[in-house]
Amino acid sequence: MLANKTGVLLILSRDVLDEARVLAGKTTTTLKLAVSLQIVLRALIEEGLKRENNAALLANIEGQAKAVREIRSAAHRRAQAAGAPGHRRVENTPRASGRGRPRRRA
């Protein structure tokens, strides 16, 4: 199960984290096995990914995506109002380290 693993950083609200901790405690008591918060979060993610057509899951994803977009837009507006240079699109130019877009040989 853990042979092919990758690290991921999750940022969760305190409420969600508390609910996951409660679930870990309940399952520890029920199963009489040590169940960590990591196990609970992994199981929730795996089960959630299996529900492709669940309307509640899609609504949750949509709400989070809109919240992230609003947070980023507000930060961008604040930066513009403060006179900070905005994010400019940079063309594919060679970097100082010499790495850049590979050139085609003639």
Q: What is the extent of the structural domain holding 59? A: 52-83
Residues 45 and 56 in one domain: no
pLDDT at 26: 95
* Full 3-state SS string of 49-106: HHCCCCHHHHHHHHHHHHHHHHHHHHHHHHHHHCCCCCCCCCCCCCCCCCCCCCCCCC
Instruction: List, for the chain, all residue ranges whose pLDDT scores fall below the cut of 70.
Output: 1-2, 84-106
Instruction: Tell me, yes or no, whether 46 lies in a domain.
Output: yes
Instruction: Tell me, yes or no, whether 88 lies in a domain.
Output: no
- The pTM of this model reads 0.58
pLDDT at 101: 58
Residues 66 and 37 in one domain: no
Structural domain tally of the chain? 2
pLDDT at 3: 78
Instruction: Tell me, yes or no, whether 92 lies in a domain.
Output: no
Instruction: Tell me, yes or no, whether 103 lies in a domain.
Output: no
